[in-house]
């Protein structure tokens, strides 16, 4: 066991920092537009980190016969807690760069569900 001379130094106090705007989300009248960079054939399905104006998402499905698109929609539906019908692929059917409409979701709700606070 290590002896700590001043235990107050090791207590971290995190100031409340302003949250940068999520540039990969745009709120519209029908819901929220989500810009994604999809990585098919990954080792696991996961929501990654924002990369510029896109959110990186990995799926295990290959980019064949729209399998990766279906896996993306299923992962988002599970993460957001909604049906697959609430998620619509608008652009990027054959590209890694995709735009999806999240029907009925606000930007705030989307961020809260994509990045839950873990204690």
Task: Name all domains of the chain by residue range, CATH numbers in brackets.
Answer: 33-114 (3.30.1200.10)
* CA 99 to each of CA 11, 12, 18, 63, 104: distance values in angstroms, whole numbers, following the listed order: 42, 39, 26, 16, 16
Confidence of residue 118 (pLDDT cuts 50, 70, 90): low
**75 against 13, higher pLDDT:** 75
Rounded to whole angstroms, the Cα distance separating 51 from 93 reads 20
What is this structure's pTM?
Answer: 0.81
Single out the residue of 113, 118, 94 nearest to residue 55, CA to CA.
113
**Is residue 19 pLDDT above 80, yes or no?**
no
Higher pLDDT, 111 or 118: 111
């Amino acid at each position: 066991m290590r002896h700590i001379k001043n235990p107050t130094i090791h207590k971290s106090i995190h100031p409340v920092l302003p949250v940068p705007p999520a540039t990969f989300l745009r709120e519209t009248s029908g819901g929220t537009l989500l810009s994604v960079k999809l990585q098919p054939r990954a080792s696991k399905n996961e929501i990654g980190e924002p990369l510029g104006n896109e959110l990186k998402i990995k799926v295990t499905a290959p980019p064949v016969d729209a399998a990766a698109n279906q896996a993306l929609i299923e992962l988002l539906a599970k993460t957001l807690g909604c049906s697959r019908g609430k998620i619509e692929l608008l652009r990027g059917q054959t590209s890694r760069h995709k735009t999806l409409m999240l029907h009925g979701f606000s930007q705030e709700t989307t961020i809260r569900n994509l990045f839950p606070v873990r204690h």
